[in-house]
Amino acid sequence: MARRLPRLAGTGLRLAHLADARALRVVLASEAGRGVAQAVGLVAVNSVLGHVLAAGSTNERLTQALPALAVVAVTAFLGSLLRSASTAATGALEPKVQRVATEQYLGLVHRTELSAIEDDEFHRLLDAARYGADSARRMIRYCTNTLNSAVSLIAAAGVLTVLHPVLLPLLVLMTLPSAWSSLMISRQRYISFHAFVQHARAGHLLGQLLTQKEAAAEVRVHGVGPFLLGHFRTMAETSEREQTRLAHRAARIGLAADGAGGLATLLTYGALGALLWGGAMELAVAGTAVLAIRTGAASLDSLVLQVTELHQESLFVADFERLCREAKTRAIPVGGDPLPERLREVRFEKVTFTYPGSGQTPPEPTLHEVSLAFPTGKIIALVGENGSGKSTLVRLLAGLYLPDEGSGTIWWDDVDARTADRDQIFGRVALMSQDFYHWPFTFRVNVGIGQPGQAIDDRAVEEASGFSGADEVLGGLPRGLSTLLARGYRGGHQISGGQWQRIGIARAKYRQAEILIVDEPTSALDAVAEQRVFDQIRALAATTGQTIVLITHRLHSVRHADLIHVLKDGRVAESGTFEELMDPATGTGDFRDAYLVQASAFDAAIPTPSAGDHDTLRTQDHA
């Protein structure tokens, strides 16, 4: 603890200095001043006692004690003034420290690779670090209290040493047991926190599920409530057992420490008695010694308590530091090779990608030696069965993941994505993923967040909404663009899944990026809206020259794609135009078979059409 504490306290102080250097100076100066005032006060009390217990008449003794009494009063007054200055400055400093610490780790975490955010170990660290930001705030108070206790202890120890040198080690002996017990207990608490941090998060999640609006319908109709409550209780009971275990342990440690402390106190007062008995100390001096021992023991106790609390908080601050270090090592690199001004294509060359596993079994690659091209200005469709790796592939295209070390390369013309400026890659891409985020903000922000660095242009928001059909959603909102799309807040409005999807597409359009990636953009859209989106996407590619990467299971909608890549089990099964893939002479059959299955489902659904009707319907379907 002695080795680590100064460095960790230094972290707290550095954060405080960053947050508000002036307030920190006020706190440190006033606490040091308070300690000095207490010390001077104690020396003055010592002098008052000396005068009061000396020989002479009561009046004389009191008169002689008066100056020292005045010093006691002045130091008490000064101490109060300094305490209020310190309280005011600490109160202002603490929330700022917490903000600076929180900003620091959030600032680092939002720039880490996606793989870090998906790593449970990183999340565990994140949970502890979140607590660490709180600890940094609390550390300020413990640091100031420690400083204060240390100065008043030095005063008491100084007085004791002057009275008799043997009293000082005895004072330390008296406090050692409680120091040991506080340290032991705080360490146990810290270890237990780490063992239970994920457990606590899971318990909290269960509690949240019971009140969350997303789960509300199933909780009620399927009666999930008692099931969740049962699990919540089981988890809470495990936690309670751990708390009880800790409390029992703390009680045992405390009892042992009290016993040892009692013996040490006996020894101290015994020594004092022996000194008196043997005539080595006068009664007046012994009185002062008792006072100094009591003050010193109180200061030492408080010092031990403050240092232990400081130590415990510092362990969490250490987690915070660890997270910051880890976030830095897993950060998306800044800078790199610039991308070509006018891009011709993005090409995957034998790209293999593996998601990090849980550590028990070696993970299998999700993409195996994938080679394919995304020529710019074209519509490229990615199709394939569930789990074939389409979404993973576009995340690599968007720069969210990099190919496995030692595997192939993603080329942006002749620039390797590994060494490219990743911010430039992100800047070239608009991504509407399957699980695009429903921001709990207004309609305007939900679209405008596609270009978060700039002021939101209402006209452009409306234009993008018109593109995706979100204008119809907008028309029905009570406060138009300013309607809050978050149920559960005042003025919040709920919209349907399909309406959200239109907003998602509007957001991707608003971003105006060179490559627009849309992952299942129409899964929640009605037939008319779906047709409109595909028409618009086609128009977009034709008029603005944007590259469209389209993932969809609706195979009839990829007829107009310039290029179709078919994925199967993480490999490219075939690539080509619709006609090439449908032609038994050029296609492998993977696409054709799937297409025919979907088409036959439509045919089967048509009740005995006349030849003419059938043709009309098929034409509409293919359109």
Ligand X SMILES: Nc1ncnc2c1ncn2[C@@H]1O[C@H](COP(=O)(O)OP(=O)(O)OP(=O)(O)O)[C@@H](O)[C@H]1O
Q: Which residues bind ligand X (CB under 6 A)?
A: 118, 355, 366, 384, 386-392, 434
Distance of CA 22 to the CA centre of its chain: 29
CB of 355 to ligand X, least distance (A): 3
Minimum Å gap between C-beta 197 and ligand X is: 22
Residue whose CB is less far from ligand X, 464 or 517: 517
Closest alpha carbon to 139 in 316, 324, 321: 316
Minimum distance, C-beta of residue 354 to ligand X, in the bound complex (Å): 9
The strands making up 515-519's β-sheet, listed across from edge to edge, are 429-432, 515-519, 547-551, 379-384, 563-568, 571-576
Phi-psi region of 202 (alpha: psi -120 to 50; beta: other; left: phi over 0): alpha
Beta bridge partners of 432: 518
Closer Cβ to ligand X, 175 or 366, answer by number = 366
Q: Which is nearer to ligand X, 341 or 435 (CB)?
A: 435
Pairing of strands 345-353, 367-375: antiparallel
Nearer to ligand X, 118 or 282 (CB): 118
If the CB atoms of residues 384 and 408 are measured against ligand X, the closer one turns out to be 384
* Nearest CB to ligand X, comparing residues 77 and 355: 355
Q: Residue 369 Cβ, how far from ligand X at the closest point, in Å?
A: 16
| Least gap, CB of 125 to ligand X (angstroms) | 18
Closest to ligand X by CB, 272 vs 393, is 393
- Shortest Å distance, C-beta 410 to ligand X: 16
Residues in the chain: 623
Residue type, 538: R
Q: How far is the CB of 131 from ligand X (least distance, A)?
A: 26
Tell the smallest beta-carbon distance from residue 89 to ligand X (Å): 47
The residue among 380, 321, 324, 304 whose CA lies nearest residue 348 is 380
Closest by CA position to 519, among listed 361, 401, 383: 383
Neighbours of 84 (CB within 10 A): 11
Nearer to ligand X, 10 or 387 (CB): 387
In the bound complex, what is the minimum distance in angstroms from residue 459's beta carbon to ligand X? 35
Whether 271 contacts 170, CB under 8 Å: yes
> Would you say 6 or 387 has its CB closer to ligand X?
387
Cα–Cα dist 290/284, whole Å: 10
Which residues lie below 8 Å from residue 606, measured CB to CB, with a gap of 6+?
613, 614, 617
Closest CA to 174 of 147, 153, 152: 153
Minimal distance in Å, beta carbon 388 to ligand X? 4
> What kind and span of H or E run contains 349?
strand 345-353
Residue in 579, 582, 509, 507 with CA at minimum distance from that of residue 541: 509
Q: Work out how close the CB of 375 gets to ligand X at its nearest, in angstroms, rounded to a whole number.
A: 22
Closest to ligand X by CB, 387 vs 609, is 387
Cα distance between residue 157 and residue 169, in whole Å: 9
User: Based on CB atoms, which residue is closest to ligand X, 153 or 429?
Assistant: 429
Q: Is 247 left (phi over 0), alpha (psi -120 to 50) or beta?
A: alpha
Question: Which CB atom, from 383 or from 533, has the smaller least distance to ligand X?
Answer: 383
What DSSP assignment string belongs to 559-587? TT-SEEEEEETTEEEEEE-HHHHHSTTT-
H helix and E strand count, the chain = 18, 10
What torsion, rounded to 10 degrees, do the Cα atoms 408, 414, 416, 422 define? -140
DSSP code per residue over 442-473? BHHHHHHTTSTTS---HHHHHHHHHHHTHHHH
What is the nearest approach in angstroms of ligand X to the Cβ of residue 319?
25
Whose Cβ is closer to ligand X: residue 115's or residue 188's?
115
Q: How far is the CB of 337 from ligand X (least distance, A)?
A: 27
- Contact yes or no for 331/112 (Cβ under 8 A): yes
Closer to ligand X by Cβ: residue 365 or 440: 365
* Contact present, 289 and 160 (Cβ < 8 Å): yes
Question: Residue 87 CB, nearest distance to ligand X (Å)?
Answer: 49
CB of 143 to ligand X, least distance (A): 42
Backbone phi and psi for residue 279, each to the nearest 5 degrees, phi listed first? 80, 15
Counting beta carbons within 10 angstroms of the beta carbon of residue 1, is it exposed (0 to 12), middle (13 to 18) or buried (19 or more)?
Answer: middle
Residue closest to 199 by CA, chosen among 241, 138, 248: 241
User: Quick one: 44 or 370, whose CB is closer to ligand X?
Assistant: 370
